[in-house]
């Protein structure tokens, strides 16, 4: 989509915010809450909260085991949620959907199960410079355990992966490429299908971190051609404590389970076991029952609105934010410019640094105005090192944010910069002064 089209994109229903009771509050006295921290964790609509309450009030018991009515209802709800996820991501089979605790748990599961079975000394694991620590550390740990080598696909200065150089990095030794669909710091939307295509041709397995894409744009694992894909419930209007690992059937079948315990077995003997079929093989112990059911409700909610509309709405907010924030003196916006590259290059977040004050002070001063943003390294320390900064401030948007909230952010930020602008005076004003 071109930027002009994004600006004109039909906005979502005005009464949509009424679904999110938490947003209808003031903070610090009379400041309306402007919640711009959904990339860390989104808010959830009443429909999802109701699904959790309904489960605990009417249908809760442990799943798959009990021959009683509550267990049957809970099992039905849990398995229905799995089928909803299957449709949501375009998987071929429901048993390719594994419920986990979140993206981090999903990626660790791949590293421990598929990784330990398939990666050896001297093999190469290809990552990118814009990965979240959740898509770095499990691979570093795998490399430590196996003697494999970690490499990085290069990135341009403005935060675009150099996909045209991917061929150089897919060597005979490359076993796996793990990369994010959307950068949680830069906002860059990566060409997932193209990376997967090249990897597949080279016989390399792909792991897609969809934590920041699944909530905001349509996902189709078959069209993307990925082998594994991970995302979290709490970033897409669902509860925390539940996430998804998608794996292609053939790969999951051939992969030994990582966590051992109840539910993941077919038969246990004195000294050995045989694993259960998919998906139970990868769901040891009591799973996140009510959270998974509520994740199903979140998917219903998002699909009723439409992921395309949500994405278009966020692109319009990004276009507005980019225009308003670029006008602030002393600001550096991180990631590729949507003006230069078009709206499709970015998802719904904008990170920035000001020449002064520090990112944490900015977040505190914005919070004083009711504007909730995130400051720090956003679990992307290597990326911040490459950008030559230690921290940034991130405003992230979701379906419930409005153009008026982008204006509130821009006005508050302009006010912060104005107070801290170089005055010629010797003494630097400190955040405590305000």
Contacting positions for ligand PMP (CB under 6 A): 40, 102-104, 132, 134-135, 180, 184, 209, 211-212, 232, 379
| Identity of the residue, 123 or 227, whose beta carbon is nearer to ligand PMP in the bound complex | 227
* 10 secondary structure, DSSP code: P
Distance in Å, CB of 134 to ligand PMP, minimum: 4
Is there a catalytic annotation at residue 379? Answer: yes
State which residue, 244 or 343, has the beta carbon closest to ligand PMP: 244
Residue among 209 and 369 whose Cβ is closer to ligand PMP: 209
Supply the minimum distance, in Å, between the C-beta of residue 171 and ligand PMP: 26
Least gap, CB of 423 to ligand PMP (angstroms): 37
**What's the burial of 11, exposed, middle or buried (CB within 10 Å: 0-12/13-18/19+)?**
middle
According to DSSP, residue 130 is labeled T
**Phi, psi (rounded to 5 degrees) for 174:** -70, 125
Least gap, CB of 103 to ligand PMP (angstroms): 4
**Residue 91: phi, psi to the nearest 5?**
-70, 160
- d(CA 291, CA 286) in angstroms, rounded, equals 12
Closer residue to ligand PMP, CB minimum distance, 212 or 255: 212
For ligand PMP, the closer CB: 47 or 240:
240
Q: To which residue do tokens 């002393």 refer?
A: 330
Task: Give the residue ranges of DSSP H helices in 264-306.
Answer: 289-305
Of residues 179 and 400, the one with the C-beta less far from ligand PMP: 179
Spatial contact of 258 and 113, defined as CB atoms under 8 Å apart: yes
Whether 370 and 26 have beta carbons less than 8 Å apart is answered as yes
* Residue 406 near residue 320 (C-beta atoms within 8 A): yes
Rounded distance between C-alpha atoms, residue 419 and residue 434, angstroms: 9
> Rounded distance, CA 79 to CA 64, Å?
10
Which among 179, 201, 85 has a CA at the least distance from the CA of 126?
A: 179
Order of strands, sheet of 392-396, starting from the edge strand that comes earlier in the sequence: 331-333, 349-354, 392-396, 374-376
Closer to ligand PMP by Cβ: residue 55 or 130: 130
CB of 321 to ligand PMP, least distance (A): 19
Smallest separation (angstroms) from ligand PMP to the CB of 346: 14
According to DSSP, residue 112 is labeled I
Catalytic choice (196, 226, 237, 379): 379
- Provide, rounded to whole angstroms, the least separation between the CB of residue 379 and ligand PMP: 6
DSSP 214: T
How deeply is 114 buried, as exposed, middle or buried, from its count of CB atoms within 10 A (0-12, 13-18, 19+)? buried
The Cβ-side half-sphere exposure at 147, using a 13 Å CA radius, reads: 3
Residues, the chain: 434
Catalytic residues: 379
């Amino acid at each position: 989509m071109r930027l002009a089209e994004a600006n004109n994109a039909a906005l979502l229903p005005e009464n949509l915010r009424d679904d999110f009771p938490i947003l209808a509050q003031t903070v610090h006295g009379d400041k309306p809450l402007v919640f711009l921290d959904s990339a860390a964790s989104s808010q959830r609509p009443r429909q999802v909260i109701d699904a959790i309450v309904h489960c605990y009030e009417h249908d809760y018991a442990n799943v798959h085991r009990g021959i009683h009515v509550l267990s049957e209802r809970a099992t039905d709800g849990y398995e229905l949620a799995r089928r909803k996820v299957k449709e949501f991501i375009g998987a071929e089979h429901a048993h390719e959907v594994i419920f986990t605790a979140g993206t981090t748990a999903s990626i660790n599961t791949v590293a421990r199960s598929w990784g330990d079975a398939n990666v050896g000394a001297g093999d190469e694991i290809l990552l990118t410079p814009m990965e979240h620590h959740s898509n770095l550390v499990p691979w570093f740990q795998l490399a430590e355990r196996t003697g494999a080598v970690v490499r990085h696909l290069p990135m341009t200065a403005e935060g675009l992966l150099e996909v045209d150089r991917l061929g150089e990095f897919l060597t005979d030794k490359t076993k796996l490429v793990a990369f994010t669909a959307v950068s949680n710091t830069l906002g860059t939307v990566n060409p997932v299908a193209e990376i997967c295509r090249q990897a597949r041709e080279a016989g390399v397995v792909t792991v897609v971190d969809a934590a920041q894409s699944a909530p905001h744009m349509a996902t189709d694992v078959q069209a993307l051609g990925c082998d594994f894909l991970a995302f979290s419930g709490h970033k897409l209007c669902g509860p925390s404590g539940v996430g998804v690992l998608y794996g292609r059937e053939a790969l999951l079948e051939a992969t030994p389970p990582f966590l051992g315990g109840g539910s993941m077995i077919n038969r246990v003997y004195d000294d050995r076991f045989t694993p259960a079929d998919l998906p139970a093989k990868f769901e040891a112990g009591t799973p996140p029952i009510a959270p998974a059911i509520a994740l199903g409700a979140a998917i219903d909610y998002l699909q009723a609105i439409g992921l395309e509309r949500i994405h278009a709405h966020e692109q319009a907010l990004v276009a507005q934010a980019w225009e308003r924030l670029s006008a602030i003196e002393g600001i550096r916006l991180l990631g590729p410019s949507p003006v230069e590259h078009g709206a499709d290059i970015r998802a719904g977040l904008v990170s920035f640094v000001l020449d002064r004050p520090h990112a944490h002070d900015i977040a505190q001063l914005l919070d004083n105005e009711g504007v909730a943003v995130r400051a720090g390294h956003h679990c992307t320390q290597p990326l911040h090192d490459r950008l030559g900064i230690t921290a940034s401030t991130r405003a992230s948007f979701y379906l419930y944010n409005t153009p008026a909230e982008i204006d509130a952010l821009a006005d508050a930020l302009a006010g912060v910069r104005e107070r801290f602008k170089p005055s010629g005076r010797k003494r630097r004003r400190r955040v405590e002064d305000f």
